[in-house]
Amino acid sequence: MSILKRKFGRSGPELTILGFGAMRLPGFRTGDFEGHLEGAVQLLRRGIELGINYIDTAQLYDAGHSEIAVGQAIQGVRDRVIISTKILPNLVSSADHFLALFDESSERLQTQKIDIFYFHGLYWKQFTGQFASMGLLKTVEKLRAEGRIGLLGFSSHDQPENIGRLVDTGAFDGMLVQYNLVDEANAEVISRAGKKGMGVTVMGPVGGGRMAGTGPDFTRLVPPEFGDAPALALKFVWSNPDVTSALSGMESEAVLEANVRTAGKFSPLTPVGQTEVAALKKKLDKLKEIYCSGCGYCLPCEENVNIPGIFSLLICHQVLGAERYAKDMYRLIGVLPIIPGRDATACIECGKCEDKCPQKIHILDQLKRTHELLTK
Ligand code: SF4
Ligand code: SF4
């Protein structure tokens, strides 16, 4: 089964609509990077074997071990795979420092050329401030002239209007932004980027895992012809013609194979399908209030508060209507092995988790709200 490919921008390479997001490989969930390296390499190779030709990683993921895993996986098949990696401008102190970090990434990836290089988590304020004063664009241009970077892009969690400003600079060949069934805030900038001939890759196509079976199961809300919730979520993203590729953070062979099957039989949403999806989106609207993807970036909490577990129960209560279940499970946090840790009352409000949340959730307020709701 072959996977549809789309051109990354006007002149870029063709990427499979399903990309392999290596953000949680090799050992994000356990912290045991070395121990899971071989398994991660095998999983990435299996993805390539199944026809995926685009893998995204970053210097920051698993403290560089994600790049190491990708670097090992592409040995012998480098010409079949498009690689992107990213460096966080916040961590860069000068152009020379950037070059040193770039060298390290290239070494870990064991490649002479990064096909697509993204500035990681770029904000407009940064781009016009510290970024400009260090002359990072010029530095990247130099790397491009030397053939060490193919295309230049940015990833961003900035406000859509600021992402639009980054698009309008004309400095980038593409961008990586969040977009999915429950969050279309970037729909307009994606269209704008498409019109400008930029490639658009999407992070969190299945809501960062919220619709992927790691959290509450949304499948029972999904009309049967769409299959399950992750399949519908991917179909929704790919039905946007300005999206080049959706990056799914696949952590198991089962999820990988399911996504490849979904990609292999993809056809855009029909008008009837769009109507059904619009109805479903209304039901999912409440998710916007609590945008927890279950990613776990807010952890560890020194007080062992099970932040993603608690928010997963909030979603069960608010979106899926499983009120009794959510309340019972909340009571059993720390008692049942499937929901370890402590409930919201253990929070000492140190605030360390909030800065780490990519969804900018006001974790402290939401923990209090969830506790009230689930103990009424
Ligand atoms: S604010 Fe509360 S939940 Fe967050 S890290 Fe501190 S104790 Fe844990
Ligand atoms: S609260 Fe934020 S960081 Fe924590 S699991 Fe949810 S989305 Fe991830």
Question: Which whole number is the average pLDDT over 149-156?
Answer: 96
Q: Is 303 in the pocket of ligand 1 (CB under 6 A)?
A: yes
For residue 314, pLDDT over 60 is answered with yes
296 touches ligand 2 (CB under 6 Å): yes
Same domain, 84 and 98: yes
Same-domain check for residues 257 and 333? no
Model confidence over 333-364: pLDDT tens digits? 998 887 899 999 999 999 999 999 988 899 99
Distance 347 CA to ligand 1 centre (A): 5
308 within ligand 2 shell (Cβ under 6 A): yes
Mean pLDDT of the chain, nearest integer: 89
Q: What is the pLDDT of residue 348?
A: 97
Q: What is d(CA 91, CA 227) in angstroms, rounded to the nearest whole number?
A: 42
Range in 192-206, 224-238, 240-254 the model is least confident about: 224-238
The C-alpha atoms of residue 47 and residue 257 are separated, in whole angstroms, by 8
Same domain, 228 and 145: yes
Q: Quick check: CB of 348 below 6 Å from ligand 1? A: yes
CATH assignment of the domain containing 118: 3.20.20.100
* Domain end residue (candidates: 261, 285, 309): 285
Do 134 and 279 share a domain, yes or no?
A: yes
Percent of the chain with pLDDT over 70: 94
361 CB less than 6 Å from ligand 2? yes
Percent of the chain, pLDDT > 90? Answer: 63
Taking CA atoms, 182 is separated from 192, 193, 212, 227, 332, in Å, by 20, 21, 13, 18, 29
The answer on pLDDT for 310 being more than 70 is yes
For 82, which DSSP code?
E
Domain stop point among 265, 285, 305: 285
The answer, yes or no, to whether any atom of ligand 1 lies below 6 A from the CB of 364, is yes
Cβ 171 under 6 angstroms from ligand 2: no
Q: Does residue 212 share a domain with residue 135?
A: yes
Residues 203 and 84 in one domain: yes
What pLDDT, on the 0 to 100 scale, is given for residue 218?
A: 66
Lowest mean pLDDT among 23-32, 163-172, 352-361: 23-32
pLDDT tens per residue across span 260-287? 999 999 999 888 888 888 887 777 776 6
Q: 239 and 120: one domain?
A: yes
**17 C-alpha to ligand 2 centroid (Å):** 26
pLDDT in tens, 193-217: 999 999 999 998 887 555 655 445 5
Q: Is 356 in the pocket of ligand 1 (CB under 6 A)?
A: no
Residue 131 confidence (pLDDT) = 83
More confident residue, 62 or 117: 117
Say which ligand is closest to the CA of 366.
2
Nearest residue (by CA) to ligand 1, atom 7, is 347
The pLDDT, as a whole number, for residue 210 is 59
Same domain flag for 105 and 164: yes
Question: Which of 342, 343, 352, 355 for a ligand 1 pocket mutation test, highest count of atoms within 8 Å of Cβ?
Answer: 352
**Cα–ligand 2 centroid distance for 305 (angstroms):** 12
* Sequence-distant (≥ 6) Cβ neighbours of residue 323 within 8 angstroms: 317
Longest dimension (CA), the chain: 63
Task: Say if residue 234 is in the same domain as residue 336.
Answer: no
Q: What is the pLDDT of residue 63?
A: 84
Number of domains present in the structure of the chain: 2
What is the 354 CA–ligand 1 centroid distance (Å)? 8
What is the extent of the structural domain holding 174?
5-285
Do 65 and 206 fall within a single domain? Answer: yes
